[in-house]
Amino acid sequence: MKHNYVLGLVGLVLIVGGVWWWQISSAMPASSVTTPVGAVEKDFPLTIANKKITSGMTTLSVNKGDTVTLTILCDEDEELHLHGYDVSADLTANTPATLTFVASTSGRFPFELEHSKTELGAVEVNP
Q: What are the boundaries of each domain within the chain? A: 2-34, 41-126
Q: What DSSP assignment string belongs to the chain?
A: -HHHHHHHHHHHHHHHHHHHHHHHHHHS-HHHHHS-TT--EEEEEEEEETTEEEES-SEEEEETT-EEEEEEEESSSEEEEETTTTEEEEEBTTB-EEEEEE--S-EEEEEEETTTTEEEEEEEEE-
Q: For residue range 88-116, what is the model confidence (pLDDT) as tens digits? A: 999 999 999 999 999 999 999 999 999 99
Chain-centre distance for alpha carbon 78: 21
**Is the model's pLDDT at 7 over the cut of 70?**
no
Provide the pLDDT for residue 9: 45
Q: For residue range 57-89, what is the model confidence (pLDDT) as tens digits? A: 999 999 999 999 999 999 999 999 999 999 999
CATH of 41-126, one of 2.60.40.420, 3.40.50.720, 3.30.360.10, 2.40.128.20: 2.60.40.420
State how far the Cα of 35 lies from the Cα of 73, in Å rounded to an integer.
29
